[in-house]
Amino acid sequence: MAAFTSDQILGDIVTADPSTTRILSKFGIDFCCHGQRTLTDACAADGVDAAELLAALNSSGAPAQRADWADFDDPSLIAHIVSTHHRFLWEEFPRLAELVDKVARVHGPNHGELVRVRELFHQLRAGMEPHLRTEETMLFPEISLRAGRPDRPLSDEVRNELAENQQEHDNAGHLLAELRELTDDYTIPADACASYTAMLAGLADLESDIHLHVHKENNVLFPRVLAEAGSPA
C-alpha cells in the first residue's frame, strides 16, 4: 500500500487501513466525527506535529486491512455495523459498568480521577444505548427501505434523525476524549489490581470500537444516504 500523505482525508486513511485508528487516537486526532479534514488541517487544529504523526502512520508496520466499506451497499453496511459494533456495545457496556463501579469504589480513595471516570462512563452509556436502539428500530430500517428505490424520498424525520445522530456522535467523542485524558492514555498505574487493569483495557477497546463505528456512519453511510437523496423538496 502506498505511503500516507499529509493532504489525505482522515476518513480515507482509516478506510484504507483500520489499524491506523489506534495511532490517530493516541495522537488525539478525531477521525470519526471530523473525518472530512485533511491530516494537515487536523494536526493544525489539534496542535499535533503533522510530520511526527505521518511518520508514525507510515512506520507502524501494521498490515494493510482494506475494508472497502464504501463498496458495501447500504443494507450490507448496516448489517455489518449492527452485527459488529452494536453487538459489541450491547455486550460491553454491562460488563464494563461492573468493572468501572468496582474499581472506582476500591481504588477511588487513592485515585481521585476514578470518580470522574465512572461519571463519564455512565454518561456515555446513557447516551449510546438509546442511540443504538433508535438506529436499530427507526433510522436503519428507513435507510434500508430506500435501497434500490431512488424514487423513495428521504423524510424530514429521517433527515432530522441523521443530524441528531451525528450530534450524539460528537457528544460521545467528547466523553471518550476526556476519559483518555483522565486515564493518561489508559496507562496502568503501579498499584493497579487485575480489575483495574481490565477496566483500562476495556475502556481503550471501547474507545477504539466506537471511533471506528462512528467513522463508518459519519464518513461512509450517512453522507452517501444524503447524497443519494439529494436536497429536500
Vertex 12 angle, CA 151 and 212, to 5°: 85
pLDDT of residue 56: 86
Residue 136 clears pLDDT 60, i.e. is over it: yes
Cα 109 to Cα 117: distance, rounded to the nearest angstrom? 13
pLDDT of residue 149: 76
pLDDT in tens, 14-47: 877 777 877 887 788 888 777 889 999 999 998 8
pLDDT of residue 134: 96
pLDDT in tens, 80-123: 999 999 999 999 999 999 999 999 999 999 999 999 999 999 99
pLDDT band, residue 1 (cuts 50/70/90):
low
Name the phi and psi angles at 226, rounded to 5: -70, -40
Cα 103 to Cα 114: distance, rounded to the nearest angstrom? 8
Residue spans per domain, the chain:
10-58, 69-229
Residue type present at position 199: M
On the 0-12 / 13-18 / 19+ scale of CB atoms within 10 A, 226 is middle
Is the pTM of the predicted complex or chain greater than 0.85?
Answer: no
Residues 6+ apart with CB under 8 A from 38: 6, 7, 8, 9, 10
With cell 424514487, the residue in question is 151
Cα 14 to Cα 66: distance, rounded to the nearest angstrom? 9
pLDDT in tens, 167-208: 999 999 999 999 999 999 999 999 999 999 999 999 999 998
What one-character-per-residue DSSP string does 95-164 give?
HHHHHHHHHHHHHTTT-THHHHHHHHHHHHHHHHHHHHHHIIIIIHHHHHHTTT-TTS---HHHHHHHHH
Cα 142 to Cα 62: distance, rounded to the nearest angstrom? 37
CB atoms within 10 A of CB 103: 22
